[in-house]
Amino acid sequence: MGEKLVFYSKNDKGRTLSRSDRAKELCLDDLRCEFLFSGEEDYSNSAKIRDGFEKNLEKMIDAEVIICNGELLSIEMLKKLPNLRHIQLLSAGFDGWDIDAINDLDINICGNSPAISNSVAEHTIALIMTLYKRLSQAVEGVKSGEWMKKAITGPYGNVREITGKNIGIVGLGNIGSKVAKLLKGFDVNIFYNDIKEFSNFEDELNIKKLSFEELLKISDIVSVHVPLSDETKSMFSAKEFGLMKKDSIFINTCRGPVHDEQALINALKTDEILGAALDVTEIEPISKNSDLLKLDNCVVTPHLAGSSRESVDRRIMFAFENANKTLNGIQPENLIFS
């Protein structure tokens, strides 16, 4: 007999869902998460799939909910699951999924950006600080026995302040809006560009919507928070970096292919922009021979912005709660539409 609820991680190490009166455990990737429920939820009809969906169709045939961490399901596979009502992703991104076809099948597919927005927003601020305060150079200098204060600050002050700067946020969704809220404490001017209007945030945070080109031209810091799609792929190319101020910095914590990596490398090498900080790259993991890793004005972290002790718990809780909404006839959060 099939299961109503299916958990899957492409990096699963084989730990199964355990049951007790109050706690349930689920291992995703190499993280062990413990979380409590009210005691009323019953996940006894659940299965942990370790060897891929295609090999486990019989276990999944009655599934109403599938929770995925990194694995894509083909439309052909989804059509074989007549009872499927809800696909819950454990990531904010949904690139690779055929959203049009899933919507046509009347299946809910939901992202997880509300659960990771705090972590990604905080990491964004950390990347800005790392570039502006030249923290990488300072830390490495001290470790190597060099007291580099003069070399880092320079005669005209290469270390900079965030206060008073123009901030351009591209994509003002769950994560972009959280970044805006955190940055307001630095007494900055915030502008945004998005396909949607966010009048509530404009009033609450005193921020202004600009065209994409206008935003690039006036921003000291450009931070991008958009999903990867045909429309956003390479939206930052040579043209866009050419529009940015020469002393501006570029921050990307969403998806690597949103920027054209070679165009970014060229802009950094020729001082067309001041610097870049990336949590994502076109190819992951990044090659150790990448020019990005050789540049003094570029910082790269290994796609960990959304990963924190707190966010892992929230991701799992959000997934379960959102699945329950669908099963109980309530519209779930963070629905993805084409």
- Tell me which residues are annotated as active site: 255, 284, 303
CA distances from 175 to 169, 208, 220, 253 (A): 10, 17, 20, 10
How far apart are alpha carbons 92 and 79 in whole angstroms? 24
Which single residue is written with the structure tokens 């990194």? 70
Helix axes 174-183, 113-132, angle to 10 degrees: 40
CA distances from 122 to 97, 117, 305 (A): 28, 8, 8
Residue 266 C-alpha from the chain's centroid: 25
> Any residues with CB less than 8 A from the CB of 149 and at least 6 apart, and which?
none
CB 190 within 8 A of CB 207: yes
